[in-house]
């Protein structure tokens, strides 16, 4: 028997260009959107969407999901603190079972906040088993995800796994066994090594294997850890590596010309405003990228620092850019006549632009007949939402995860009536055990505290 679900009588914010929010029903059959409009076909499970907003699920284009157990330890840290204490000291203490817990818990956090797709930049792969367990945690959560396998060397003396050859062989094996299909809910990507650390020769090898395997790549741009930042755009262009399968992260210190070259070669850019603004990575590139003709995606980045909530990222990206734009008028002695960017641009960044960045816009990102049913329903009659005068603005500037009533991924309901549908009784014990192991092991090594300023080891 086919599966039929109807979101009945909601305010549909489709994010299809030119379509205004409207009262409508949304029919989902076997995981796909079958009808949107005023129709009488009510056979199936009815979800009463009266006084609610029905919208596409949010798309997070950059998140290190494995760090969920380290939640909150970097609140007052700089990027250098983070690199020293998380990337160099803490990651080595992760066991495979910690990767499972981090990914399962982290993906549930995303689902709870209305995020239905995450690009997981998984750069704590201390062994093949670490990847296997992270993938298992992701799949069990029910979310849609690109698992971007980290090819970076880890600061762990593991001679049987810590060379570029070992990492590439592992990537080939995962593609053949775990990710043979690009139509699955969880698919494969590659998280490239940092160019300024690994060198262009290693990164060239990593790009080559990624293109041989026909999977997308993502990497951190702007080497702000050095007195003279390098230009990854120049490095990759000189090596002939620019292309539409690259998802650049941050790019705040890139020049307008570098942004233009990325856009012209089809590359995508992920903006993570909360960590960027805190950790000294420059002003978010959100507005400059739009002005250059690009479509920024948004990401929560490090859960060791901030929440996995794209509502926050939309607001920060939007209002930070408005402040800079307004300052241009204020510096001439006049208040601005208009406000830019718009709330619709922020919501596009969290939905269809994010889907475009991940190459998934034919499947998700808007509510359209024929697309897969990644759908969220936000209560508009909660006290912080009532009354909903402008649905798009209400989502961007008023809503929070507690207003997310229902979350559906590929037609499967994962959150209903404001509650996740998974059982959390066993999860609490696993999280506690993993957290206790990590905190004690990391503490013994002197980690999880900002270290005195010292040269980084490369």
Query: What pLDDT sits at residue 448?
Result: 75
Q: Quote the pLDDT of residue 458.
A: 47
Largest CA distance in the chain: 68
User: What pLDDT sits at residue 266?
Assistant: 98
Cα separation, 113 vs 46, in Å, equals 22
Question: Do the bridges between strand 412-416 and strand 404-409 make them parallel or antiparallel, or are there none, so unpaired?
Answer: antiparallel
Question: Who's near 342: CB < 8 A, 6+ residues apart?
Answer: none
Cα–Cα distance between 224 and 83 in angstroms, integer? 12
Give every CB contact of residue 421 below 8 A, 6+ residues apart in sequence.
Answer: 413, 414, 415
Residue 421: the pLDDT is 93
What pTM, to 2 d.p., does this model score?
0.96
Q: Which residues contact 429 (CB under 8 A, 6 or more apart)?
A: none
Contacts for 380-385: CB closer than 8 Å, 24+ residues apart: 380/11, 380/51, 380/52, 380/53, 381/51, 381/52
Q: What is the mean pLDDT of each run of 10 residues along the chain (458 residues)?
A: 92 98 98 96 94 99 98 92 89 96 97 98 95 98 98 69 86 98 98 88 94 97 70 92 97 95 98 96 96 98 96 98 96 96 98 98 98 98 98 98 98 97 84 96 80 53
pLDDT at 452: 54
How many other C-beta atoms lie within 10 A of the C-beta of residue 412?
16
- The predicted-structure confidence for 131-181, as pLDDT tens digits, reads as follows 999 999 999 999 999 999 999 876 655 666 878 888 999 999 999 999 999
3-state helix, strand, coil in the chain (%, to 5): 40, 20, 40
- Predicted local distance difference test score (pLDDT) of residue 229: 67
Q: Are 170 and 128 in contact (CB under 8 A)?
A: yes
DSSP state, 451? P
Residue 359, pLDDT score: 98
CA triple 353-357-358, angle to 5 deg: 120
Cβ–Cβ < 8 Å for 189, 219: no
């Amino acid at each position: 028997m086919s599966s039929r679900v109807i979101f009945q009588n909601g305010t549909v914010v489709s994010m299809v260009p030119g379509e205004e929010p409207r009262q409508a029903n949304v029919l989902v059959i076997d995981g796909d959107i079958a009808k949107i409009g005023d129709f009488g076909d009510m056979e199936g499970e009815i979800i009463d969407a009266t006084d609610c907003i029905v919208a596409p699920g949010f798309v997070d284009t950059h998140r290190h999901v494995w760090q969920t157990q380290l939640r909150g330890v970097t609140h007052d840290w700089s990027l250098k603190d983070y690199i020293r204490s998380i990337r160099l000291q803490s990651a080595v203490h992760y066991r495979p079972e910690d990767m499972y817990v981090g990914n399962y818990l982290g993906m549930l956090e995303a689902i709870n906040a209305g995020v239905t797709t995450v690009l997981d930049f998984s750069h704590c792969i201390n062994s093949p088993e670490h990847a296997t367990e992270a993938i298992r945690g992701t799949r069990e959560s029910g979310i849609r995800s690109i698992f971007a396998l980290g090819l970076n060397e880890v600061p762990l003396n593991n001679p049987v796994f810590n060379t570029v050859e070992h990492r590439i062989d592992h990537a080939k094996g995962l593609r053949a066994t775990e990710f043979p299909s690009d139509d699955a809910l969880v698919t494969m990507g590659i998280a490239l090594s940092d160019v300024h650390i690994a060198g262009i020769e290693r990164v060239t090898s990593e790009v080559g294997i990624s293109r041989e395997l026909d999977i997308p790549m993502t990497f951190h741009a702007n080497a702000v850890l050095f007195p003279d930042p390098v230009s990854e755009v120049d490095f990759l262009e000189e090596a002939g590596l620019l292309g539409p399968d690259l998802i650049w992260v941050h790019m705040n210190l890139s020049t307008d010309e570098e942004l233009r070259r990325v856009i012209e070669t089809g590359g995508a850019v992920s903006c993570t405003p909360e960590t960027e603004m805190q950790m000294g990575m420059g002003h978010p590139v959100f507005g400059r990228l739009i002005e250059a003709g690009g479509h920024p995606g948004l990401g929560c980045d490090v859960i060791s620092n901030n929440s996995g909530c794209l509502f926050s990222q939309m607001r920060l990206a939007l209002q930070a850019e408005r402040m800079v734009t307004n300052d241009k008028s204020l510096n001439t002695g006049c208040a601005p006549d208009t406000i830019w960017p718009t709330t619709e641009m922020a919501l596009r960044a969290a939905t269809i632009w994010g889907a475009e960045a991940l190459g998934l816009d034919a499947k998700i990102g808007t509510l359209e007949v024929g697309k897969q049913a990644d759908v969220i329903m936000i209560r508009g009659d909660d006290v912080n939402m009532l009354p909903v005068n402008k649905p798009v603005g209400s989502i961007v500037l008023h809503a929070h995860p507690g207003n997310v009533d229902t979350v559906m991924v590929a037609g499967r309901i994962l959150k209903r009536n404001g509650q996740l549908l998974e059982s959390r009784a066993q999860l609490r014990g696993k999280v506690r055990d993993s957290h206790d192991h990590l905190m004690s092991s990391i503490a013994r090594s002197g980690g999880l505290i900002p270290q005195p300023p010292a040269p980084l080891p490369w």
